[in-house]
Amino acid sequence: MWSKAVTRKSLLAIAVASFISVADAALAWPRGCISALPKSSTRRVAWTVDDGASTSALGRYVSMLEKNPSVKITFFVLSGAPSWTKYAARLKALQDNGQIQLANHTASHRKLTALSDARIIAELNSCENFCLAKFGMTTKPYFRPPYGEIDDRVIRVAASIGFTKPILWYGSFSSGSGVASSTVLKAASKWIANGRIVIDHANGYCTTNVFPQILQLFRSRKLKLVTLREAIDPQ
Ligand SMILES: [Zn+2]
């Protein structure tokens, strides 16, 4: 399995690749992709955090969330990264009180557009089964394709097993490995706005080192943080 084969080097490759491939704003995503929240009378934004290639960085997100109950995050779980197992109990507690959502970012971070239909299904199901076992809740129907690489075939194949909501983004914190916190802060300031889905990565400390400033951006702009599920599929 990928999780056994994972090495520090391969996680670093994910972190770097995520940074290189992540465009700032909405690209020309195929029809059916979601990159913004539905319109609402509430000023709101979705902070989404991918990968968890750095276990210690993910730990900082968990601790920050535990100290700040009004902060909400949707995590896109890369189930092959050991961080999600290490923090499973604390993540489950945050999930169960509605503060976080755990969504699907596949098992091993392959470009889905380069995989066969069967392997796309295997990647999504493997992450789904991991999350069901660790957190007791489905990731469906939300998934984010690694590197934002998606096409009509991937959308169709994912939908065939219940992943009907491909989540992309509008605005990136540029939070790759080796990025300066000042760069993250500048990007966050540029993109945090009403109705946005912004993308961040738990692959290093570049965001965690400026958590107070990031939280202040949400506060000063009078934006409520919401999970994707509560914004897109309210009960
Ligand atoms: Zn990723």
The pLDDT score that the predictor gives to residue 179 is 93
Give the pLDDT band of residue 22 (cuts 50, 70, 90): very low
Give the tens place of pLDDT for each residue, 72-102: 999 999 999 999 999 999 999 999 999 999 9
**C-alpha 234 – ligand 1 centre gap (Å):** 26
Residue with the two structure tokens 């992540």: 22
Mean pLDDT across the chain, nearest whole number?
91
pTM, 2 dp: 0.91
**C-alpha 109 – ligand 1 centre gap (Å):** 6
Total number of domains constituting the chain: 1
**C-alpha 202 – ligand 1 centre gap (Å):** 9
**C-alpha 201 – ligand 1 centre gap (Å):** 7
**C-alpha 41 – ligand 1 centre gap (Å):** 31
The pLDDT score that the predictor gives to residue 26 is 55
The pLDDT score that the predictor gives to residue 30 is 92
Give the tens place of pLDDT for each residue, 113-153: 999 999 999 999 999 999 999 999 999 999 999 999 999 99
Residue 218 maps to which CATH number?
3.20.20.370
> What are the residue ranges of helices labelled H in the chain?
2-5, 8-21, 55-67, 83-86, 88-96, 117-135, 152-160, 181-191, 211-220, 228-232
Range of the domain at 214: 2-24+32-232
Whether residue 224 contacts residue 43, with contact meaning beta carbons closer than 8 Å, is answered with yes
**Token duo for residue 223:** 């934006």
